[in-house]
Chains A and B, each alone.
Chain A
Amino acid sequence: GQNIDQPTEMTATEGAIVQINCTYQTSGFNGLFWYQQHAGEAPTFLSYNVLDGLEEKGRFSSFLSRSKGYSYLLLKELQMKDSASYLCAVSDMNAGNMLTFGGGTRLMVKP
């Protein structure tokens, strides 16, 4: 089985930086995904990490450490529109590469 943990809620200020952590345990790790989901909308793909290190994509970056079973999503220069839930999902090759999702982190950006 898999176990994916991320904080339930976080609050940050507009213009600031926030780091959302995700820890996982899986037998056949085959990559980690981050999705953004605004209330009542579809999850949208943000990033994919399969090798250790940092992947940067504009204001968003994602980091992976396979040995620690740990990832984080870093959001810089926060904007009000970044208020959303951020979902961490792990692909397991022993489960046909199916994704298992964490419970999501609800981020509230305040002025």
Chain B
Amino acid sequence: AQKVTQAQTEISVVEKEDVTLDCVYETRDTTYYLFWYKQPPSGELVFLIRRNSFDEQNEISGRYSWNFQKSTSSFNFTITASQVVDSAVYFCALSEPPTSAGNKLTFGGGTRVLVKP
């Protein structure tokens, strides 16, 4: 069965510091997608980034970047120059090939990020 682990439960930083969120996953499939979602205090999960298992190229999108390493089953996420508005809970999620459960997501436990001014 698939599993996603976010070892960090809470991270507190001062504005403008970089924040790196760890994510480790387990799956027996060779084809899968990984996601990061953000849940601000309002409660709605917001999609941030997606990476498929065939593409280990790391990218940067604005202040967000990610480091996908298949060899260690890790999909870490970095926020550069954090801002107070980045304060939220961040979830890493794993999606496997569609099954009778569709494209269901398996989520990690989440990491709460608090950015102080």
Mutual binders A and B: no
Q: Which residues from chain B sit less than 8 Å from chain A, CB to CB?
A: none
